[in-house]
Amino acid sequence: MDFSGAVLDVDGTVVRGDDPIPGAPSGYRRLREAGVETLFVSNNPTKAPPAYVDRLGAAGYDATAADVITAGSVTTAYLREHHAGDDLLCLGAPGLLRQFDDAGLSTTDDVDAADALVASIDRSFDYDDLCAALWALERGIPFIGTDPDVVIPAAERDVPGSGAVIRAVAAVAERDPDVVLGKPSDPAIEAVRERLPYPPEECLVVGDRLDTDIELGARAGMTTVLVLSGVTDEGDLAASDVEPDHVLDDLGEIDRVL
At residue 157, the pLDDT reads 85
At residue 111, the pLDDT reads 97
List CB contacts of 110: < 8 A, sequence separation 6 or more: 87, 89
At residue 1, the pLDDT reads 72
**Distance in angstroms (rounded) separating the CA atoms of residues 16 and 233:** 16
What value does the mean pLDDT take over residues 63-83? 97
What value does the mean pLDDT take over residues 125-129? 98
Going from the C-alpha of 29 to that of each of 4, 24, 34, 220, 247, the distances in angstroms are: 14, 9, 9, 25, 19
**Distance in angstroms (rounded) separating the CA atoms of residues 74 and 193:** 13
pLDDT score of 17 more than 90: no
pLDDT digits (tens, 9 = 90+) for 129-172: 999 999 999 999 999 999 999 998 787 888 999 999 999 999 99
**Beta strand extents in the chain (DSSP E only):** 5-8, 15-16, 19-20, 37-42, 68-70, 87-91, 106-107, 116-119, 143-145, 151-152, 159-160, 179-180, 203-207, 223-227, 246-248
